[in-house]
């Protein structure tokens, strides 16, 4: 124990005495590999933008309902029902054919000079969901007593309020005796720089009918309240919004700032032409660090320097004016590109038709131009959150084997059967309201297999992700063998069969990969990344989907397809194998353990980047790696009776060549024997000069 005499460790507020000196312990953060990326179709939400989701309700608030024909919402529910803690959701669309709903702010005019035009806004993101939006504008009038200096003829504005840019309504004397009073809209402007008192003034300059001491006492300050409704339900309210762009609470600025769901996407800094139609719309209203804007509305870029003037009807209506997007012309309605969406839209970067860009260029409602594809967009997440990288990837909407299930209003009755209920119908009761059918995502063996192979190739290229795939239903034994061998990889796992779950009273068929993602995350949280994600109940479902052609369990096991089976303990996931033909990488737990150790050691050894490349550095690096491996051995992640049987670490003269030393590379070789299987897997860690450590598997 190290102690210090009184006074030597004295701090203000502590009495004199003897205190134990405890040095601060630097703790290194642990890398977690339980973050799954779920990529697919949603009712609404930002396009090709990774959004962190921590529960199913948050997903619904940002991406909408689980409509028939959309697998992504149900996949997110399964992920959290089976133990997932965080997923990254990316919405994909057919960018050329999707449309964004556009509407107006009722009762307001955008005034700039002599120009008066309608106040145009749009739904925050594309899709037919925007056609269900409603907006209500209401002007709030607060009394504001102004003074008048008869000597100078100046209007005196209270020093505490209002702020520069505030909109005021003043009363004026009638033009003729007994005539109606006059009203006019003014704004508070900053004083001229040469003004001696630097007091704010009114603009435009008030004329004689408004320069009346008594009438100035009856002035009012105008602010706006905007209510946003979706399906008749209030979803957002913006209070005390200003009408002039000089005010910090200018309404379009409040709405247009980056929304919460788009906060991860940084502003583009390479745009020098302010009139460029491809410029990012959010940059007009603030930076990424500004408070979040509307999740439902996006203002026109033409509103950035206009004055919003309320009309007489709006001023005379205390309850405000309501406008529905359904009242807009058909050309302004939003629509989903259900008939043209293909599998390539899950991978390709965004691309827009030139006509659509020109149509909305001035307003910049097309806010998702030049975005990378969904998989490439995940790289931005990994860079922003290096200790929570995306480690699991699933595309639940890659296959839609059947059209959306019909929603049953009531049971169909025979024509001759009388009905005594309060609601009686003899007509067919099946309907598909709000169902989104994607015919180009049906079963096409070549297209589907190519898409899954493209996903695997992406995971292999990045070297840190695993693709969780869904075996399509209806395959025979020979087809299953060909399918699995075509997708053989140590970074892929194949799951079967599809599952049945309840979605607000209707049975829906969903792919199993999202449930497997949740189980993988749960095992990592409860045990560790080395735990095999198998022998766990699958929650949130009530049955397996009917797949009469699915081979028997022993066949699937030999073909390394992870099956969900009914047991005495319910529906269980009984497989944790990759599709690899390499015996070293048969088990997902081995692949994930090595991935985790690579990432964790790179984080642990970040300090080594700028150290002298000598024997002291090599010894320190080896000791750091050895401590991490001992912790794994104690936790039961490694095979062997002793630590020397379970792992080795070498970082000395034998692991370096003269060329390595000349280039400033420090190379450490690590070998470990995972608990299953019990063979050694060897990889090398290289330090490249001033670069961060890079680990390569040999």
Structure confidence by residue, pLDDT tens digits, 74-119: 999 999 999 999 999 999 999 888 999 999 999 999 999 889 999 9
Residue 428 is predicted with a pLDDT of 36
pLDDT at 142: 92
| Confidence bin at 16 (pLDDT 50/70/90) | low
- What is the reported pLDDT for 11? 52
> What one-character-per-residue DSSP string does 309-348 give?
EE-HHHHT-TT-EEEEGGGS-GGG--B--TTT--GGGGTS
Strand partners, 37: 88, 393
**pLDDT value of position 427:** 36
| pLDDT of residue 628 exceeding 90 | yes
* Mean pLDDT value of segment 195-204: 76
pLDDT of residue 677: 46
Higher per-residue confidence, 472 vs 548 = 472
Q: How far apart are CA 655 and CA 618, in angstroms?
A: 10
The residue with greater pLDDT, 643 or 410, is: 643
Q: What is the pLDDT of residues 322-381, one digit of tens each?
A: 999 999 999 899 999 999 999 999 998 877 766 667 777 778 787 776 778 899 989 989
Structural domains of the chain sorted by starting position, each given as residue range(s) with its CATH number in brackets: 35-95+371-585 (3.40.50.11780), 102-140+225-335 (no CATH), 145-218 (no CATH), 605-697 (3.30.360.90)
Q: Among residues 79, 47, 44, which one has the least CA distance to residue 62?
A: 44
How far is residue 600's CA from residue 272's CA, in Å, rounded to a whole number?
A: 40
Whole-number mean pLDDT of the chain?
85
Q: Which residue has the higher pLDDT, 502 or 428?
A: 502
- Residue 303 has what pLDDT? 93
pLDDT for 27 equals: 60
Residue 175 confidence (pLDDT): 74
Would you state the structure tokens that stand for residue 49, as one six-digit string? 């933008």
Q: pLDDT confidence of 454, banded at 50, 70, 90?
A: very high
Quote the percentage of the chain above a pLDDT of 90.
57
Token pair 């890398």: residue: 31
Helix, strand or coil, per DSSP, at residue 540: coil
């Amino acid at each position: 124990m190290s102690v210090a005499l009184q006074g030597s460790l004295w701090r203000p507020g502590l009495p004199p005495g003897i205190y134990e000196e405890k040095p601060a312990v630097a703790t290194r953060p642990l890398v977690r590999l339980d973050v799954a990326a779920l990529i697919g179709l949603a009712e609404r939400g930002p396009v090709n933008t990774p959004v962190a989701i921590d529960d199913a309700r948050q997903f619904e608030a940002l991406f909408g309902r689980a409509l028939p024909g959309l697998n992504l919402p149900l996949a997110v529910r399964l992920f959290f029902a089976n133990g997932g803690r965080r997923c990254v959701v990316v919405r994909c669309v057919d960018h050329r054919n999707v449309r964004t709903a556009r509407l107006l702010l009722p009762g307001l005019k955008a005034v700039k000079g002599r120009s008066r035009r309608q106040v145009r806004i749009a739904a925050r993101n594309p899709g037919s969901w925007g056609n269900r939006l409603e907006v209500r504008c209401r002007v709030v009038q607060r009394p504001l007593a102004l003074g008048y200096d008869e000597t100078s003829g100046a209007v005196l504005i209270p020093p505490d309020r209002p702020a520069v840019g505030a909109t005021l309504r003043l009363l004026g004397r009638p033009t003729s005796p007994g005539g109606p009073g006059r009203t006019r809209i003014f704004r508070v402007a900053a004083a001229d720089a040469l003004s001696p008192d630097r007091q704010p003034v009114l603009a435009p300059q008030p004329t004689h009918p408004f320069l009346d001491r008594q009438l100035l006492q009856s002035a009012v300050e105008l602010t706006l309240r905007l209510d946003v409704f979706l399906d008749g339900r209030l979803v957002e309210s913006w209070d005390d919004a200003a009408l002039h762009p000089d005010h910090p609470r200018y309404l379009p600025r409040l709405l247009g700032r980056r929304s919460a769901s788009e906060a991860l996407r940084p502003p583009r800094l390479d745009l020098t032409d302010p009139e460029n139609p491809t410029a990012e719309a959010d940059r007009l209203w603030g930076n990424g660090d500004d408070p979040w804007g509307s999740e439902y509305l996006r203002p026109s870029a033409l509103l950035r320097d206009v004055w919003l003037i309320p009309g007489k009807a709006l001023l005379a209506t205390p309850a405000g004016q309501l406008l529905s997007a359904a009242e807009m012309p058909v050309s302004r309605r939003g629509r989903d590109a259900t008939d043209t969406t293909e599998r390539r839209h899950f991978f390709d970067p965004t691309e827009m038709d030139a006509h659509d860009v020109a149509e909305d260029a001035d307003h910049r409602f097309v806010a998702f131009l030049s975005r990378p594809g969904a998989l490439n967009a995940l790289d931005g997440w990994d860079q922003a959150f290096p200790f929570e990288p995306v480690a699991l990837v699933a595309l639940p909407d890659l296959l839609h084997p059947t059209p959306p299930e019909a929603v049953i209003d009531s049971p169909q009755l025979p024509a001759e059967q009388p009905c005594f209920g309060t609601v009686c119908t003899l007509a067919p009761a099946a309907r598909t309201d709000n169902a989104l059918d994607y015919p180009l995502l049906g079963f096409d063996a070549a297209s589907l297999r190519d898409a899954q192979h493209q996903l695997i190739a992406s995971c292999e290229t990045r070297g840190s992700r695993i693709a969780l795939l869904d075996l399509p239903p209806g395959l025979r034994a020979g087809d299953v063998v060909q399918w699995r061998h075509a997708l053989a990889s140590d970074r892929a796992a194949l799951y079967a069969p599809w599952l049945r779950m309840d979605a607000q009273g209707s049975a829906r068929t969903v792919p199993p990969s999202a449930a497997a993602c949740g189980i993988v995350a749960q095992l990592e949280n409860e045990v560790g990344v080395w735990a095999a994600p198998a022998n766990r109940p699958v929650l949130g479902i009530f049955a397996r989907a009917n797949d009469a052609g699915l081979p028997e369990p022993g066949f699937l096991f030999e073909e390394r397809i992870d099956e969900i089976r009914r047991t005495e303990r319910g529906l269980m996931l009984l497989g944790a194998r990759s599709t690899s033909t390499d015996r070293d990488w048969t088990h997902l737990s081995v692949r994930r353990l090595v991935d985790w150790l690579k990432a964790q050691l790179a984080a642990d050894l970040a300090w080594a980047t700028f150290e002298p490349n000598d024997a002291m550095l090599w010894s320190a690096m080896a000791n750091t790696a050895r401590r991490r491996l001992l912790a794994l051995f104690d936790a039961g992640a490694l095979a062997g009776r002793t630590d020397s049987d379970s792992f080795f670490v070498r970082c000395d003269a034998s692991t370096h060549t003269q060329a390595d030393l000349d280039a400033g590379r420090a190379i450490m070789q690590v070998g470990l024997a995972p608990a299953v299987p019990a063979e050694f897997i060897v990889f090398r860690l290289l330090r490249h000069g001033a670069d961060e450590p890079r680990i390569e598997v040999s």
